[in-house]
Amino acid sequence: MAEPMARPRVVLVTGGAQGIGAAIVRRFAAAGDHVVIADTDVERGTHLAGTTGSLFVRTDVGRPDDNRAAVAAAVERFGGLDVVCLNAGVPGGISLGADFDPERYRQAMRVNLDGVVYGANAALPHLTARGGGAIVITSSLAGLAPSRDLYYSAAKHALIGLTRSLALHTHQDHITVNAVCPGIVDTRLVAPQRDAVDALGLAVADPDRVATAVATILETGNTGQAWLVQANRPIAPYAFPDITLSRLDVPGPPGDGADDPADP
């Protein structure tokens, strides 16, 4: 388990102008940390920065240069970088076959997957220079289970693989990498389906619950985990199955003819 980071920490939150991102911003700001809000929504981002004492940087996470600029702004203003919450996300859609929309698909991957890759790569040199830090990636339950939102789910599944694999590379530099996997949360992404959600009797979590999960992750100091976040359920890491690679020196099952002493 990693040593807890000294406060105040310098925290960058992408997609931080509203919804889950805004809840994360408020959580860190209330704890006395220095927060940078990276988002394309200038009006909401500027307002939130003003009410929380944070710094807003207009950022299109699908552009590598914008990610580098947001990180540079955090380092210039506050002297370093400790925590990066890669949270920006958009719906993906379910167009298929003749109805497939390449532009919408590309936008879903550009924000939901590429934006996390670009953000992580922009942040890593500065986290390393700090002697360690943390990356928290917002995936989804749709990153662990099938979803009607086909391309959103594909990107969120990819983020789970990215989280677990990136953790292997950053462990030696004392940088933890984890994912939060929210279920149904009261955000603009869920708003269009809210009537159907309510009719099914499904519990809807407040964005603050995801912010609590992020704080919990940082307190544990663990890495390479995907944390389930739902209303009325404990915040807990998902139990991935153990997978063992097969080896050439393992004998075959009895009766297959290999190494069978009864075989003439």
pLDDT digit string (tens) for the chain, length 264 residues: 555 666 799 999 999 999 999 999 999 999 999 999 999 999 999 999 999 999 999 999 999 999 999 999 999 999 999 999 999 999 888 889 999 999 999 999 999 999 999 999 999 999 999 999 999 999 999 999 999 899 999 999 999 999 999 999 999 999 999 999 999 887 777 767 776 766 777 778 889 999 999 999 999 999 999 999 999 999 999 999 999 999 998 666 666 555 544 544
Q: What are phi and psi of 135, to 5 degrees?
A: -120, 130
CA-based nearest residue to 94, from 171, 146, 172: 146
* Dist CA 175 CA 168 (whole Å): 10
Mapped to the 3 state alphabet, what secondary structure does 220-256 carry? HCCCCCEEEECCCCCCEECCCCCCCCCCCCCCCCCCC
CA-based nearest residue to 179, from 150, 149, 142, 124: 142
Q: What totals of helices (H) and strands (E) does the chain contain, helices first?
A: 8, 8
Residue 151 annotated among the catalytic residues of the structure: no
Q: What is the pLDDT of residues 118-170, one digit of tens each?
A: 999 999 999 999 999 999 999 999 999 999 899 999 999 999 999 999 999 99
- Does the pTM exceed 0.75? yes
pLDDT at 257 (0 to 100): 54
Give the mean pLDDT of the chain.
91
* Dist CA 179 CA 189 (whole Å): 19
Catalytic residue among 105, 118, 151, 152: 152
pLDDT at 264 (0 to 100): 46
Residue pair 93/151 in contact (Cβ under 8 Å)? The answer is yes
* DSSP letters spanning 55-124: EEEE--TTSHHHHHHHHHHHHHHHSS--EEEE----------GGG--HHHHHHHHIIIIIHHHHHHHHHH
Q: Please, what are the domains in the chain?
A: 10-237 (3.40.50.720)
